[in-house]
Chain A
């Protein structure tokens, strides 16, 4: 029986870690769901259209746990439409949008506004709402109302929750709703005026540096509180070996802690700042070679659960200023997969199914995105088809994002999304 809204993906290598599948299979998408996954040829004739994925990996749609879409309020940097177009081009079918918008997303109204069809999102947008009112670190927001409106986690990203009491209460309240508290782990009392990592490069450049301890102290504290409250703390963009070690210990102790790492933290180091290149300024900052090596190890041994981009678009004039005055952050949606394949798979030998797991199954599990991150029948029809051998060069001027603040302009990579399918529809490529 042929269905109007159906798509058969043929001849690809299906890599679906959640289902334990890594072999050539055909995937039938119908009415917004995965209808079947079967041996090549078995599903022939069951769909209106077909997609030839020969030579490509067919993976569950990638999920980015950490993006800044800048709407409402900062449309000069990015809009939900442009940010999700960049996501689609990078192979992401879902993005989790941070609440540091203007105003801060601390309400059900803004949470719903971000998901409204009028925003023109090309991929699924899951808001992560503010944990405290205005992210002021004083009073918790209404987690239940936010969850009901569609928020899948809470955080005060960029303005970490420093108060022990408040973090305790946030974890406790979130645990009742079965959602994680996401923490940007930075003891901002230790990082005033800092614009990069503390080390030989910051000393040479005469810049105040952030210590590893400023991150690790907060991660240690949060893990202890997660243990005490039986809550779930998710460490955003983990960057130091000490914080990684804390997560490793926490997991061993059975505490519900998860962690994400960005492509730039497992690829670049603080020395790359060079002579004050603001495209290498982000928070957390690029760290030392030892930290980078530890992150690669943490990815390999499973301490790190997910790859997230921390896609942080900024206008030219916000980066073309004195280094210390420049905005923190870089774009990342269109380069994440390529960096993961090039650095983790090609260079460090991480199996492709692990790369896929870090981008799909694990993020779905961490944020509780039901029926996503897998191609098991009944799942949402979100799929990423990528060519793990395709060589290409990133041209920032062609980016779908509204901003161009990337260190990777002109870099050559291996691995690229060929088609991005959301809800059964090809939103990129094809």
Chain B
């Protein structure tokens, strides 16, 4: 018997077997074929932060499986009136939600909710901490192109410090024996970031990092986050933008990924984002499949 997954809070809490079974289930999911697997189930989408793809893909995933969804946001709800996260969670659960998918600006918010609310919680991004469904869909995307994760050289370039995507991805890929290189300006890739998981290295030279890379994952870099840092926007672009020339440093069959939203001209150029190595659109498609698998599993319909 495999241990049942109650909530999806972060990669660390998952066993390797659980990750593998979510990925196996995701491969079998077909968003173009609606099913009644979760008929009668209610999924609350509790979004304290704005989101396009994550929210929409969870919503499509739930509806494709026959569940109903409702969106709760701080604007025009009691959250605006100062209701605590725990009280909001209790309310949503008592209204009949069978699962809560939450996006929140504070790291650890999903843990807090899961500690007090007795329905499955899906962490759809908490502060700078975790974004587990993104890491799972990224693993699905990588395994569509590479035979195995073990031994892959994965370069994650950009604002790693602020990135929950980077943390979740590095922890997941490390679990399967990949080598992960965090690359970026020192403020974005502090030395301590290498302590996150076995096989993670920190590097400030993108040209060196890209040598022999199997996967290049670019992260969003917000210009405002460069304010007051040691590096100017021009220097950042000159040193860390993923360009067609730089992609040539990676292996010829390397793939290019980005969790979105893409800021074209900042972390990468349009030639790269829309180029032959780009898997950005595939990532978005895999997002729906992966989230279908997550909801099916947590709501107990995937045994």
Enumerate chain A interface residues (CB-CB to B < 8 A): 198-200, 203-207, 275-276, 317, 320-325
Contacts and interface: CB of A to CB of B under 8 A. Distances in A.
Contacts of B126: 206
Nearest to A276: B108
A287 to B, nearest CB: 14
A247 B129 CA distance: 36
Q: Chain B CB within 10 Å — which of A198, A276, A322 has the most?
A: A322
B108 A200 contact: no
Contact of B167 (A206, A323, A324): A206
A324 B196 contact: no
A207 B128 contact: yes
Contact of B112 (A204, A317, A321): A321
Contacts of B190: 203
A324 B107 contact: yes
B50 interface: no
Given A276-B107, A320-B116, A324-B127, 11 more contacts: A203-B192, A205-B129, A206-B129, A206-B164, A206-B167, A207-B129, A275-B108, A276-B112, A320-B112, A322-B104, A322-B106
B111 to A, nearest CB: 5
16 contacts: A199-B192, A200-B192, A200-B195, A203-B192, A203-B196, A204-B167, A204-B196, A207-B129, A320-B112, A321-B85, A321-B86, A322-B85, A322-B108, A323-B106, A323-B107, A323-B108
B111 A275 contact: yes
B196 A322 contact: no
A207 B84 contact: no
A206 to B, nearest CB: 3
B195 A207 contact: no
A323 B164 CA distance: 16
Nearest to B126: A206
Q: Chain A CB within 10 Å — which of B85, B108, B116, B128 has the most?
A: B108
Contacts of B129: 205-207
B109 interface: yes
A241 B112 CA distance: 33
A324 B195 contact: no
B130 interface: yes
Contacts of A200: 192, 195-196
B76 to A, nearest CB: 21
Contacts, number: 61
B128 to A, nearest CB: 3
Given A321-B84, A321-B85, A205 B195 contact: no
Contact of A203 (B108, B111, B127, B193): B193
A204 B190 CA distance: 12
Contacts of B111: 275-276
Contacts of A320: 84, 86, 112, 116
A321 B130 CA distance: 18
Contacts of A324: 106-108, 127
Given A276-B112, A323-B107, A206 B130 contact: yes
A322 B112 CA distance: 7
Q: Chain A CB within 10 Å — which of B116, B126, B129, B167 has the most?
A: B129
A203 B164 CA distance: 10
Nearest to A274: B111
Contacts of B195: 200, 203-204
A226 to B, nearest CB: 32
Q: Chain B CB within 10 Å — which of A203, A206, A276, A321 has the most?
A: A206
A422 B3 CA distance: 57
A205 B108 contact: yes
A323 B128 CA distance: 13
B182 to A, nearest CB: 11
A322 B88 CA distance: 13
Given A203-B196, A205-B108, A323-B106, A317 B84 contact: yes
Contacts of B104: 322
A165 to B, nearest CB: 25
